[in-house]
Amino acid sequence: MRKAALHNLGCKVNSYETEAMQQMLEEAGYEIVPFREGADVYVINTCSVTNIADRKSRQMLHKAKKMNPSAVVVATGCYVQAVGEELQKDAAIDLVIGNNKKKDLISILEQYVEESRNTPEDYIIDISQTPHYEPLSIRRIEGHTRAFIKIQDGCNQFCSYCIIPYTRGRARSRGVAEILEEVETLVQKGCCEIVLTGIHLTSYGIDFAESEKENLLGLIETLDQIPGLKRIRLGSLEPRVITEDFVRTLAGISSICPHFHLSLQSGCDATLARMNRHYTTEDYAARCDLLRRYFANPAITTDVIVGFPGETEEEFAATCDFLEKIHFYEMHVFKYSKRAGTKAAEMKGQIPEPVKTIRSERLLKLTKEMSKEYRKSFLGLSEEVLLEECVTVDGVSYWAGYTKEYVKTAIPYADGLGGTLISGVMERMLSEEIVCLSQKR
Ligand code: F3S
């Protein structure tokens, strides 16, 4: 049996696609082995979001060839899409497969056996021109509890720092029937929670023809009808999707998790304008107010970039004030990292690395404090936890999982509880990051 190893770089959408390719390889008769020596085929699903991501992608491709010089090394994904022809010249890489072509992995591999190296025109399409959503799917998940479901690809927003619209093409949505089929299959296998994921989730449905018109809200309502599906969580959203109608309807859907990741990037309007983000801080704050009006203590999480070109001390201070005002549960803090080919990479006023580090550390400290406060705000309340993993705290074993608000919670270990939903009262802090639940009797 031929052996295949896969390695993923980048975002949740890429992970989903790596999982789908792994399942395709298994069905084609490959044995999946760890990403170490001994595989006949190495598939590296690359990322190109920053210059560093490009470098990591190249390193993994070379590492694979080093591990087995006679193996077929396959480069797929966003880095391939960004620099396709250049990769053709790299002796460490045997096959290059761009986005929207991953579905053909098996036939491309078979063809390779007969014809050796491919040319970029074969497997790298002009991604900006395709209106087609690539049909990839998964039939099982590791751990059986939470599944990330890709429902959308591409982006039409063109933020000034982001290469993704060029590597992923325009917004394209997955058909409702395919999503339903995938989720139903996973639920039958014991999955209780899904996380809807996409490159720009907010755009779900904008490319559908009038006859099949559907949007994110309609899709959620349809998925909510699936028997056995306990929780629907949403991936990263743009603030503008949070309208009163949207939130009011969501609040009436029992499976929806009140956990909203609203991508912010900066709390300063001038910086947001340079980033080409299509909202102001006032607008953003109003959307958070709406969420807090319809949900009791929802988890609001976000992404922030520090050290964007031209970010002055005053602008950064405005961001800090805004973050405290919104009071997020969690913030993913990124130091701005140049990506060649984007407008921001050419902007004047690039910020020195040490300044970015100071700003990032300040926000990491702030997020730690706000997260702690948010977790503590649940003490004494009744919550439901989906148990997922065993953890040890101070030498004692527990089952741990997450509430609907994504607060990590644990109960003392007992056999056979993995994958179950347990209700109880949030009793005390077990550690800085885990709350201990006392079960209802
Ligand atoms: Fe990277 Fe492509 Fe995702 S650039 S972050 S893998 S969309």
pLDDT at 308: 98
Compute φ and ψ for 380, nearest 5 degrees: 90, -10
**Ligand 1 close to Cβ of residue 199 (< 6 A):** yes
Q: Is 13 in the pocket of ligand 1 (CB under 6 A)?
A: yes
Residues near 317 by Cβ (< 8 Å), separated by ≥ 6? none
Burial 12-40 (b: 16+ CB within 10 A, else e): bbbbbbbbbbbbbbeeeebeeeebeeebb
What is the chain's pLDDT, residue by residue, as a tens digit (441 residues)? 799 999 999 999 999 999 999 999 999 999 999 999 889 999 999 999 998 999 999 999 999 999 999 999 999 999 999 987 788 889 999 999 999 999 999 999 988 877 765 555 568 888 888 999 999 999 988 776 899 999 999 999 999 999 999 999 999 999 999 999 999 999 999 899 999 999 999 999 999 987 777 899 999 999 999 999 999 999 999 999 999 999 999 999 999 999 999 999 999 999 999 999 999 999 999 999 999 999 999 999 999 999 999 999 999 999 999 999 999 999 999 999 999 899 999 999 999 999 999 999 999 999 999 999 999 999 999 999 999 999 999 999 999 999 999 999 999 999 988 889 999 999 999 999 999 999 864
Under 8 Å between Cβ of 40 and 1: no
| Ligand 1 near 164 CB (within 6 A) | yes
Q: How far apart are CA 57 and CA 7, in angstroms?
A: 10
The closest-lying atom of ligand 1 relative to the alpha carbon of residue 13 is 3
What dihedral angle (degrees, nearest 10) is formed by the CA atoms of 401, 403, 405, 407?
-50
331 alpha carbon – ligand 1 mean position (Å) = 19
DSSP 53-89: HHHHHHHHHHHHHHH-TTSEEEEEEHHHHHHHHHHHT
Q: Compute and round to an integer the Cα radius of gyration of the chain.
A: 23
First to last CA, the chain: 52
Quickly tell me which residue has 């014809």 as its tokens.
Answer: 115
- Which residue's alpha carbon is nearest to atom 1 within ligand 1? 47
Amino acid at the residue 230:
K
pLDDT, position 418: 86
Centre of ligand 1 from the C-alpha of residue 50, in Å: 9
Predicted confidence at residue 173, as pLDDT, reads: 96
Q: Is 49 in the pocket of ligand 1 (CB under 6 A)?
A: yes
For residue 108, what are its two tokens? 């491309």
Per-residue DSSP letters for 177-213? Answer: HHHHHHHHHHHHTT--EEEEEESSGGGTTTTS-GGG-
- Cα→Cα distances 160→28, 197, 272, 290, 338, Å: 41, 22, 10, 28, 11
